[in-house]
């Protein structure tokens, strides 16, 4: 089994989901008392958010890359960044750490394509929905990404940072998300990507009436597949 290096804490609420999902999958695959061989670098999310708000992405990349380097020193064979937004700096993380990074965008795109879908509605932080890096990566896979309107994007961003990252779950926010999904489907979306690793705390596949792709679950299970495989990703992520 390869050692998984998780860069987490962004927020720790979703990092806990990663830890549980990975270990449950290893137990299903190997049986008995097996669990994952992994190491976790949990960052102070407040520091990361300050860099995001200041548009200091290069510094953020160095911060996460330093965490990746520490994971490499701890014996990690590859990295998984436990957040969609910080894949803005995925190439910096690979460069600073010297380890391959399992990319959440590529893994989610593959799942959407395997599901026979082409026009996903993306629910995520404002950075992920508006920066452009996510759309460009998805377009390389032949996918056309839709997002909510400006008011909807603002609401999703608020729900993520002011509620989900703080462990707050409210029925009104769930209803707002469901309304945005209905609007997206009427606009031509054929599925939904839960493109922030905290959204799975609020929405589950059972609550939605359309195909849903949970990036947290997809990414965590892909990490298990890689950890238990004979091969290892050699190529660093492409520039977004």
User: How many other CB atoms sit within 10 Å of the CB of residue 116?
Assistant: 9
196 is annotated as an active-site residue: yes
- Return the pLDDT at 232: 58
How big is the CA angle at 233 (ends 71 and 109), to the nearest 5 degrees? Answer: 105
| C-alpha to C-alpha distance for 147 and 142, rounded to whole angstroms | 16
User: Do 75 and 112 belong together in one domain?
Assistant: no
SS3 percent helix, strand, coil of the chain, rounded to 5, is: 55, 10, 35
| C-alpha to C-alpha distance for 197 and 21, rounded to whole angstroms | 12
Give the pLDDT of the chain (240 residues) as one tens digit per residue. Answer: 999 999 999 999 999 999 999 999 999 999 999 999 999 999 999 999 999 999 999 999 999 999 999 999 999 999 999 999 999 999 999 999 999 999 999 999 999 999 999 999 999 999 999 999 999 999 999 999 999 999 999 999 999 999 999 999 999 999 999 999 999 999 999 999 999 999 999 998 787 889 999 999 999 999 999 999 986 555 444 544
| C-alpha to C-alpha distance for 175 and 164, rounded to whole angstroms | 14
Segments forming the whole domain that contains residue 14? 4-103+218-227
Task: Please tell me which residue in 196, 197, 200, 216 is annotated as part of the active site.
Answer: 196
Residue 109 inside a domain? The answer is yes
Task: Please tell me which residue in 21, 83, 128, 147 is annotated as part of the active site.
Answer: 83
Nearest to 218 by CA among 100, 89, 113: 113
User: Do 208 and 222 belong together in one domain?
Assistant: no
The number of distinct structural domains making up the chain is: 2
User: Do 110 and 205 belong together in one domain?
Assistant: yes
21 is annotated as an active-site residue: no
């Amino acid at each position: 089994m390869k050692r998984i290096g998780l860069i987490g804490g962004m927020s720790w609420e979703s990092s806990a989901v990663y830890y549980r999902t990975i270990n449950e999958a290893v137990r299903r695959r190997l049986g008995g008392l097996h669990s994952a061989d992994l190491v976790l670098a949990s960052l102070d999310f407040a520091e990361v958010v300050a860099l995001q708000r200041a548009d200091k992405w290069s510094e953020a990349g160095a911060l996460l890359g330093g965490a990746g380097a520490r994971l490499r020193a701890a014996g990690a064979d590859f990295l998984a960044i436990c957040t969609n937004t910080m894949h803005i700096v995925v190439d910096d993380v690979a460069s600073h750490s010297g380890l391959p990074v399992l990319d959440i965008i590529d893994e989610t795109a593959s799942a959407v394509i395997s599901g026979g879908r082409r026009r996903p509605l993306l629910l995520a932080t404002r950075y992920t929905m508006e920066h452009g890096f996510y759309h460009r990566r998805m377009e390389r896979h032949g996918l056309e990404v839709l997002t909510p309107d400006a008011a909807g994007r603002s609401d999703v961003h608020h729900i993520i940072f002011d509620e989900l990252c703080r462990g707050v779950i409210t029925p009104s926010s769930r209803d707002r998300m469901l309304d945005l999904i209905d609007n997206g489907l009427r606009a031509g979306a054929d599925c939904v990507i839960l493109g922030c690793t905290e959204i799975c705390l609020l929405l589950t596949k059972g609550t939605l009436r359309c195909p849903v792709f949970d990036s947290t679950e997809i990414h965590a299970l892909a990490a298990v597949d890689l950890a238990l495989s004979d091969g290892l990703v050699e190529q660093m992520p492409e520039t977004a």
